[in-house]
Amino acid sequence: MSAVDSTAAEHDRSTIRGIFHDYLVKVRGGDVGSLPAVMGLIALVVVFSILRPDTFTGPLNFANLIGQGAGIIVLAMGLVFVLLLGEIDLSAGYTGGTAAAMMGVVMTRQGWPFVPSLIVCLLTGTVIGLTIGLLVARLGVPSFVVTLAYFLGLQGVMLVIIGEGGTIPYRNDIALALSNKNMPVWLGWALLVVFLGGYAVVTWLSNSRRRARGLTSQPILLWALKLGALSVVSIAVVGYLSIERAVNPNITSIKGVPIVLALIVGLVVVLTFFLTKTAWGRHIYAVGGNAEAARRAGINVQMVRISAFMVCSTIAAFAGLLLASRTNSVSPNTGGDVTLLLAVGAAVIGGTSLFGGKGRAVDAVIGGLALAVINNGMVLLNQSAGRVFIITGLVLLVAASVDAISRRQATASGRA
Amino acid sequence: MTAATAETSPPPAASEDPILTLRGIHKSFGAVHVLRGVDLDVRRGHVTALVGDNGAGKSTLIKGIAGIHGFDEGDYTFEGKPVHVHGPKDANALGIEVVYQDLALCDNLDVVHNMFLGREETKSRLLDEEAMEARARETLDGLSVRTLKSVRTQVASLSGGQRQTVAIARAVLWNSKVVILDEPTAALGVAQTAQVLRLVRRLADNGLGVILISHNLNDVFQVADDIAVLYLGKMVEQVRREDVTSNQVVELITGGRSGDLGMAEEGSDQEGEDA
Ligand SMILES: Nc1ncnc2c1ncn2[C@@H]1O[C@H](COP(=O)(O)OP(=O)(O)OP(=O)(O)O)[C@@H](O)[C@H]1O
Ligand SMILES: [Mg+2]
């Protein structure tokens, strides 16, 4: 029985070498996190930047890429909640489409203002999620089957609402701005300051609370490194998006951070907060990790399952709105095609496990960006849609294999 | 958990009125009649060993005590009052904690998260990680557990003994009055078994009622004060450790009787009630 001195382990964490060593140990132990996805994303960006330096790296294309990925990214963030339980929601794409269609009905056809229409949109998602959750958690029908049925059924509902071959245009300025407009340059910088300042203060306070209690805390150096890295990346992004990117700036000026990017960042922060700082979030991980253990710990497993499906579908409704906003209308195809499958792929590529118990909201962003970069870059290389799909499929396979391998590693290095 | 309690003097009335009593417990799963009239007494400051062959119904009995599934019939008394336990929360509220045979830990969560699972401490509705971590540390230190490097490691990466320790620490975290351990040493090596048994003994010496399920009679005779033998869903005997020999217990486990201990002669009225 070796008594490990905890202060010795703590000591070497205060140097860069120690931090790096700690991290290597974690990765070798199978806890790779989003490392493969981030590295893959960087590699993709580098490759396309070399092959298409003129177009791919331009600020116009950069903003474009965010808009292209937004719908999938938001949908994937919702899916993370059900994937964490080890469940699946195949209908999330059409849930988004149906909610966007409902919004179109009240906003365009009935002339409702934006906010009540938005509430109708989100509530449509919540109700759909509630019914899915009840069927899965109460009746015990596998979520794969329930949501497959919803996938088919909601497709029909959309056709009925919209009318065969028709579309519902969006005319509301706010609804259209969501996916298509940019914030004023100053607002982008202001939000960045709030974001970085908030991150710095919250992490600093948490660290000093831990120190005050005599618990092992993040070394100040590591805190500074993380804050520095986050600052460099986000300042670069906002700076790049603040450059004039219109082809002909004299006619219309295009600059500033896309509104949709701020929405995504805001959503990541809120969802991460709920997943990591509340008991409900903790219970989602617990149910996904070991449902029977959660039940014996007195957790209301059914409620956790139902609420996760409700959250997923509500976020899917918002994703549907973003998709419709980008095309200025809802068609029976909004949220259809491969939208849902790409969103699941995005979550998995980002590091969320289909086995449940492992995943984060930010995974959806990383994975969704990777998919958007592949699609965008290959189109710029004049590659056919066929090749884009082939590469996307390969990337997903690689991501899933990394998950499986790291899982094996974790069990191998685990039970000593 | 006060360390002040001296080893030799259990709290007053320790040996007399039991803290937990079961009388005439029945439990069936569909057509399978698993428990057929079980009586059990658990005393404060005592380790009550619950022994019996595979499938005798030991785990079923303790799951009923813990509220995982209800009993079909019988009286369940806690601290002298009849109680109805309908879920794990009810049992926890009484002060009953269980370390399950399969440990019931979430591999994807860390030690602190597991110890507070379902009963997280919050401050203005948010998880109070610092308070939980400090209390977890305290409890582990109180149990003289020094094998855990960090309470923030994922349970998946712990050894069998460490996992067992976490499960036991979770059970004593809540000022519990009765701790039930289902085969806590089954998967452990010699050193870790000794450590867990010391821990079990310490719980009882601190005034808790302890139920220990084990197939290892060495372990049982080492730490138990009382021995309760379950045979085919019936409690055939509950005796003091000093009053029996290992051989008698083996006979009780395998045949349900040993000399004048255990069930009455075969063919007597006992069989009548099984129908
Ligand atoms: N949920 C259940 N449904 C149906 N039968 C069950 C269930 N749980 C237990 N049983 C049956 O009850 C009997 C007693 O099982 P139990 O797990 O209580 O035994 P045990 O004494 O703990 O055995 P072991 O020493 O192997 O752990 C077994 O025959 C088992 O098949
Ligand atoms: Mg058992």
How do strand B209-213 and strand B178-182 relate by DSSP bridges?
parallel
Which residue of B117, B132, B159 is the best one to mutate when testing the A interface, meaning the one whose CB has the most A CBs within 10 A?
B117
Would you say residue A326 has pLDDT above 60? yes
Query: How far does CA A14 lie from the centroid of its chain?
Result: 32
Q: Per residue in A195-245, pLDDT tens?
A: 999 999 999 998 898 888 888 778 888 889 989 999 999 999 999 898 888
- Angle subtended at Cα A228 by Cα A226 and Cα A231, rounded to the nearest 5 degrees: 110
Strand partners for B163: none
Q: What is the pLDDT of residue A415?
A: 38
Distance B263 CA to ligand 1 centre (A): 21
Atom of ligand 1 nearest to the CA of B233: 14
- Ligand 1 atom nearest to B55, measured from its CA: 19
Q: Residue A11: what pLDDT?
A: 46
**B20 pairs with which residues across the strands?**
B42, B78
Tell me the residue ranges of DSSP E strands in chain B: 20-29, 32-42, 47-51, 73-78, 81-82, 96-99, 122-123, 126-127, 178-182, 209-213, 226-231, 234-240, 257-258, 261-262
User: Residue B109 and residue A282: Cβ atoms within 8 Å?
Assistant: yes
User: In A, what residues contact B, Cβ < 8 A?
Assistant: 1-4, 6, 9, 29, 31, 209-210, 213-216, 276-279, 282-283, 285-286, 288-290, 292-299, 357-358, 410-411, 413-416
pLDDT digits (tens, 9 = 90+) for A345-404: 999 988 898 888 989 999 999 999 999 998 888 888 888 888 888 888 888 888 888 877
Q: How far is CA A274 from CA A217, A311, A344, in A?
A: 22, 11, 21
User: A49 C-alpha to center of ligand 2: Å?
Assistant: 61
Q: What is the pLDDT of residues B242-268, one digit of tens each?
A: 888 888 888 888 887 777 776 765 544
B122 lies within 8 A of chain A by CB? yes
Which residue(s) pair with B238 in the sheet? Answer: B228
pLDDT at position A21: 78
> In chain A, what residues touch B165 (CB-CB under 8 Å)?
none
- Percent of chain A surpassing pLDDT 70: 93
Which residue in A210, A283, A298 is closest to B88 by CB distance?
A298
User: What is the per-residue pLDDT for B16?
Assistant: 63
The pLDDT of residue B139 is 86
Which chain A residues are Cβ-neighbours of B106 within 8 angstroms? 285-286, 289-290, 293-294, 357
Minimal C-alpha gap between B147 and chain A (Å): 6
Residues A82, A368: Cα–Cα separation, whole Å: 17
- State the smallest CA–CA distance between residue B12 and chain A in angstroms: 32
Identify the three-state secondary structure at position B37. Answer: strand
- Ligand 1 atom with the smallest distance to the CA of B32 is 5
> How far does the centroid of ligand 1 lie from the alpha carbon of residue B60, in Å?
6
pTM of full prediction above 0.90: no
Of all residues in chain A, the one with the smallest CA distance to B117 is: A297
Q: How far is the CA of B95 from the centre of ligand 1 (A)?
A: 25
Out of A9, A215, A282, the one facing B113 most closely (by C-beta) is A282
Give the mutation target among B35, B58, B253 for probing the ligand 1 site: most ligand atoms within 8 A of CB.
Answer: B58
Q: What's the confidence (pLDDT) of residue A14?
A: 66
Per-residue model confidence (pLDDT) at position A274: 96
Best CA proximity match to B94, nearest among B67, B114, B118, B69: B67
Structural contact between residues A100 and A106, judged by C-beta atoms closer than 8 angstroms: no
Which residue in B108, B118, B191 is closest to A1 by CB distance?
A: B191
Closest atom of ligand 1 to CA, residue B230: 21
C-alpha B56 to ligand 2 mean position (Å): 8
Report whether pLDDT(A7) > 60: no
Q: Which residues of B touch A291 (CB under 8 A)?
A: none
For chain A, list the domains and their CATH numbers.
36-181+258-411 (1.10.3470)
Ligand 1 atom closest to the CA of B63, numbered from 1: 18
Q: Does B125 touch chain A (CB under 8 A)?
A: yes
- Mean pLDDT computed over every residue of chain A: 88
Long-range contacts of B28-35 (CB under 8 A, 24+ apart): B28/B72, B33/B233, B33/B274, B34/B60, B34/B233, B35/B60, B35/B61, B35/B64, B35/B71, B35/B233
Rounded CA-CA distance B65/A218 in Å is 43
At residue A376, the pLDDT reads 87
Q: Which atom of ligand 1 is nearest to the CA of B52?
A: 21
How does strand B47-51 pair with strand B226-231?
Answer: parallel
Ligand with smallest separation from the Cα of B182: 2
What is the phi-psi region of residue B109: left when phi exceeds 0, alpha when psi lies from -120 to 50, beta otherwise? beta
Ligand 1 neighbours by CB, cut-off 6 Å: B 29, 32, 34, 52, 54-60, 101
The pLDDT assigned to A31 comes to: 66
**pLDDT score at B272:** 42
pLDDT-based confidence at A5, cuts 50/70/90?
Answer: very low
- CA-nearest residue to A412 within chain B is B157
Domain that holds residue B67: 3-274
Find, in chain B, the residue whose alpha carbon is nearest to that of A6.
B149
Q: Which of B98, B146, B195 sits opposite A3 (nearest CB)?
A: B146
Hey, what are B98's tokens? 């269980």
Mean pLDDT, 10 residues at a time, over chain B (275 residues)? 42 64 93 91 93 91 91 91 90 91 87 92 88 89 76 84 86 88 84 85 90 91 92 88 87 81 56 42
Rounded to the nearest angstrom, the minimum Cα separation between B216 and chain A is 22
For the cut 90, the answer to whether the pLDDT of residue A187 exceeds it is yes
Are B254 and B229 a contacting pair, CB within 8 Å? no
Q: Which residues of A fall within a CB distance of 8 Å from B104?
A: 290, 292-293, 296-297
Strands (E), A9-83: none
**Could you tell me how many residues make up chain B?**
275
CA angle at residue A75 from A70 to A77, to 5 degrees?
A: 95
Nearest Cα residue in chain B from A274: B126
Q: What is the CATH number of the domain that holds B221?
A: 3.40.50.300
Q: How far is B202 from chain A (nearest CA, A)?
A: 19
Mark yes or no for CB contact A296/B191 under 8 Å.
Answer: no
User: Comparing C-alpha atoms, which of B68, B51, B47 is closest to residue B237?
Assistant: B51
pLDDT for the residue A396: 85
What is A158-217 written as a DSSP string?
HHHHH-TT--EE---HHHHHHHH-B--HHHHHHHHHHHHHHHHHHHHHHHHHHHHTT---
- The residues near B133 (Cβ < 8 Å, ≥ 6 apart) are A210, A213, A215, B112, B151, B152
Chain A, nearest residue to B147 by Cα: A3
DSSP structural state of residue B72: S
Residue A1: what pLDDT?
36
Contacts of B159 in chain A (CB under 8 A): 415-416
> What is the amino acid identity at position B134?
A
Q: What is the pLDDT of residue A322?
A: 96
CB–CB of A215 and B133 under 8 A?
yes
Q: What is the pLDDT, as a whole number, of residue B266?
A: 52
Distance of alpha carbon B69 from alpha carbon B26, whole angstroms: 12
Give the 3-state secondary structure percentages of chain A, helix then strand then coil, rounded to 5: 75, 0, 25
What is the number of structural domains in chain B?
1
> How far is the CA of A235 from the CAs of A231, A372, B41, in angstroms?
6, 21, 68
